Amino acid sequence: MKIECKNLQHIYNKSNPFEKIALDNINLEINTGEFVGIIGHTGSGKSTFVQHLNGLLEPTSGEVIVDGISTKTKVKTQIRKNVGLVFQYPEYQLFEETCYKDIQFGPKNLGLSEEEIDERVRWACDAVGLNYEHMKEKSPFELSGGQKRRVAIAGVLAMKPKFLVLDEPTAGLDPIGRDLILSQIKNLYEKEDITVILVSHSMEDVAKLCNRVIVMDNAKVFMDDKPNVVFSKEDELKEIGLSIPQSTQVVRRLKENGLEINTDVLNVNEAFENIKKAMEARND
């Protein structure tokens, strides 16, 4: 199964003075099994792009095809089943009296039996680390910010999507809430076989989690490659206002200052190992 974008273009306010090309000729494929990070400066087109993946927005021209079905189709049920989209600040869209009702909203609309719905709500609560019994009768409005967000994510997961698209899922959370959500997303990818597409401002998170990085700039795909390849292009990223992970920066600075070191590093552990090796080689 895959998502294909063919000559995808999106223009807001077409043919009026506020016209804005938000996506310009995007051509790419996302296959199941990938963990894709999407990075780019504010306004580069990331949110507009991900809202095309489940047909929430339709291309002005070109096409997005999910498992063989164009998102321009009138009946989008199959596409919404396959691609779950978690918006920025998804908790603002909680509206039911209880968490249970909110999480079951999607599966109920699919016409599943009560038992199937209940099984999915339990699974989704578990996947985001919420206690089903404890949450069931609670109003989402009684919960903390991080818990509300996890209820909102559970609502999307309850549709059992093959592709999970998350637009800045950790925005505004404290470090503990952040780490919790990221580890749950990692778990979903590794244990539940869900393909993940993650929009993030954190180069560290993208370097740590993703096996492919799409860099957007000014409505276009600027780079699309493996994390170590993308983050080796420090100067090009700098030109479009992006940095590289701090651990990569450290080893690059050491190399610039004369240390013979392998700079292919994406996290603190790898940086530590390479610095150790370089120092040992120097002392020999």
Which residues contribute to the site for ligand ADP (CB under 6 A)?
12-13, 20, 22, 40, 42-48
Taking the complex as a whole, the smallest distance from the CB of residue 27 to ligand ADP amounts, in Å, to 18
Is the Cβ of residue 39 or residue 158 nearer to ligand ADP in the bound state? 39
Is the Cβ of residue 51 or residue 82 nearer to ligand ADP in the bound state? 51
Question: CB of 231 within 8 A of CB of 269?
Answer: no
Is the Cβ of residue 217 or residue 270 nearer to ligand ADP in the bound state? 217
Give me 134's structure tokens. 């404890």
Is the Cβ of residue 38 or residue 143 nearer to ligand ADP in the bound state? 38
Taking the complex as a whole, the smallest distance from the CB of residue 40 to ligand ADP amounts, in Å, to 5
Taking the complex as a whole, the smallest distance from the CB of residue 26 to ligand ADP amounts, in Å, to 12
Q: Which residues pair with 225 in a beta bridge?
A: 213
Taking the complex as a whole, the smallest distance from the CB of residue 219 to ligand ADP amounts, in Å, to 7
Taking the complex as a whole, the smallest distance from the CB of residue 161 to ligand ADP amounts, in Å, to 21
- Looking from the CA of 80 toward its CB, the CA atoms found within 13 Å total 15
Taking the complex as a whole, the smallest distance from the CB of residue 220 to ligand ADP amounts, in Å, to 11
Give me 197's structure tokens. 């597409």
Is the Cβ of residue 45 or residue 84 nearer to ligand ADP in the bound state? 45
Residue type (1 letter), 194: I
Taking the complex as a whole, the smallest distance from the CB of residue 247 to ligand ADP amounts, in Å, to 25
Is the Cβ of residue 40 or residue 161 nearer to ligand ADP in the bound state? 40
Is the Cβ of residue 93 or residue 109 nearer to ligand ADP in the bound state? 93
